[in-house]
């Protein structure tokens, strides 16, 4: 396969996954702000930092408000990680590899882009946000469904899946980080009702509220929720699940091309970390520090895949 095609597929699915996850991050911020008294504008500092766009936001805004932060994350084209920018980039990549996609996948992609342009043509009111976030998650799910139901299981599929799960792992870790970065008022609040409500909100923002109840009998405990989203291999947005899929898809590529690359060793090492660490050990080390290290290693893997498969050849 040409490196250009592999690059297009990989980034097409990374961008659509990112668009959905930025919407989920906004959802997490909205739910968290409901647990505070006052305007809750300060909560968005953590959301912007977790999205990695805090400094860029400051370049175009004199002060932080929840309305401006949400608009920056949803619609601002100067923000390359906004939902609208990601869907634009994803569609451009889909156009670049149009002949490698099925008709169903392309149509789902194009319809997402058209609907989102109309939906985000103006600044949304607070009451309109839940419906808009649901629409973004729904449309992104339709692209995944069309792709899964119509594509051959070959290297095209492998590169698209790797892009999806690298991005998903990155975003799950960032959503988790929102909780611990700034949202908890003080250390004394750990274990209080506010702490528990915020953890529950995290679960709802990643659509894991019901599945968590099945796995842990519904008791909201920080340790269990962190375990669920980091180490539980049955949870499709957990870091452990993402790395099972990444290692598996890289294994298919190694078999297809007859060679292992540095990316294979990096992915194996990260999966081993997630298989052998206990959640208590991670919490004792510091959840924020663990997630920060994970994001760095996940980014390193992305670079190694790009170099190893010569994406820009």
67-87 pLDDT tens trace: 999 999 999 999 999 999 999
Going by pLDDT thresholds of 50, 70 and 90, the confidence category of residue 286 is confident
Angle of CA points 303, 8, 101, to nearest 5°: 140
pLDDT of residue 1: 65
Domain boundaries, the chain: 11-151, 153-312
Average pLDDT of the residues in 7-26: 94
Higher pLDDT, 25 or 232: 232
- What percentage of the chain exceeds 70 in pLDDT? 92
pLDDT of residue 22: 92
27: left (phi over 0), alpha (psi -120 to 50) or beta: alpha
In whole angstroms, give the CA distance from residue 141 to residue 143.
5
Whether the Cβ atoms of residue 170 and residue 293 lie closer than 8 Å to each other: no
Computed over every residue of the chain, the mean pLDDT equals 90
> What pLDDT, in 10s, does the model give residues 210-265?
899 999 887 788 889 899 999 999 999 999 999 999 999 999 999 999 999 999 99
Average pLDDT of the residues in 158-177: 93
Question: Which are the contacts of 1, defined by CB distance < 8 A and separation ≥ 6?
Answer: 155, 156, 159
- Short-list 252, 249, 243, 263, CA closest to 303: 263
Query: Is the pLDDT reported for residue 193 higher than 80?
Result: no
Average pLDDT of the residues in 32-47: 72
76: left (phi over 0), alpha (psi -120 to 50) or beta: beta
pLDDT of residue 307: 94
Higher pLDDT, 182 or 179: 179
Query: Is the pLDDT reported for residue 189 higher than 70?
Result: no
pLDDT of residue 184: 54
pLDDT of residue 38: 63
Going by pLDDT thresholds of 50, 70 and 90, the confidence category of residue 30 is confident
In whole angstroms, give the CA distance from residue 309 to residue 36.
47
Query: Is the pLDDT reported for residue 203 higher than 80?
Result: yes
Going by pLDDT thresholds of 50, 70 and 90, the confidence category of residue 16 is very high
Query: Is the pLDDT reported for residue 197 higher than 80?
Result: no
Query: Is the pLDDT reported for residue 104 higher than 70?
Result: yes
- Short-list 301, 283, 303, CA closest to 291: 283
């Amino acid at each position: 396969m040409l490196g250009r095609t592999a690059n297009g597929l990989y980034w097409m699915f990374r961008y659509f996954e990112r668009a959905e996850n930025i919407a989920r991050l906004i959802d997490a911020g909205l739910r968290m702000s409901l647990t505070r008294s006052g305007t809750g504008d300060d909560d968005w500092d953590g959301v912007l930092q977790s999205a990695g766009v805090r400094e860029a936001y400051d370049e175009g805004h004199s002060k932080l408000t929840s309305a401006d932060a949400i608009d920056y994350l949803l619609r601002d084209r100067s923000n390359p990680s906004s939902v609208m920018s990601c869907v634009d980039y994803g569609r451009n990549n889909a156009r670049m590899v149009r002949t490698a996609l099925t008709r169903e996948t392309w149509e789902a992609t194009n319809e997402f882009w058209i609907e989102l342009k109309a939906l985000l043509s103006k600044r949304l009111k607070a009451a309109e946000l839940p419906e808009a976030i649901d629409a973004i998650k729904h449309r992104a799910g339709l692209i995944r469904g069309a792709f899964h139901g119509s594509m051959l299981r070959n290297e095209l599929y492998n590169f698209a899946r790797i892009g999806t799960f690298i991005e998903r792992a990155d975003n799950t870790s960032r959503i988790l980080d929102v909780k611990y970065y700034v949202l908890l008022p003080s250390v004394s609040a750990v274990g209080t009702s506010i702490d528990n409500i915020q953890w529950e909100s995290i679960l709802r923002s990643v659509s894991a509220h019901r599945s968590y109840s099945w796995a842990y009998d519904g008791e909201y405990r920080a340790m269990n929720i962190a375990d669920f989203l980091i180490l539980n291999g049955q949870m499709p947005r957990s870091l452990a699940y993402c790395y099972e899929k990444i290692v598996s898809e890289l294994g298919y590529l190694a078999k297809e091309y007859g060679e292992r690359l540095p990316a294979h060793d990096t992915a194996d090492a990260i999966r081993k970390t997630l298989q052998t660490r206990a959640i208590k050990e991670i919490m004792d080390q510091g959840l924020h520090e663990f997630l920060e290290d994970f994001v760095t290693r996940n980014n390193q893997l992305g670079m190694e895949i790009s170099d190893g498969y010569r994406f820009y050849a």
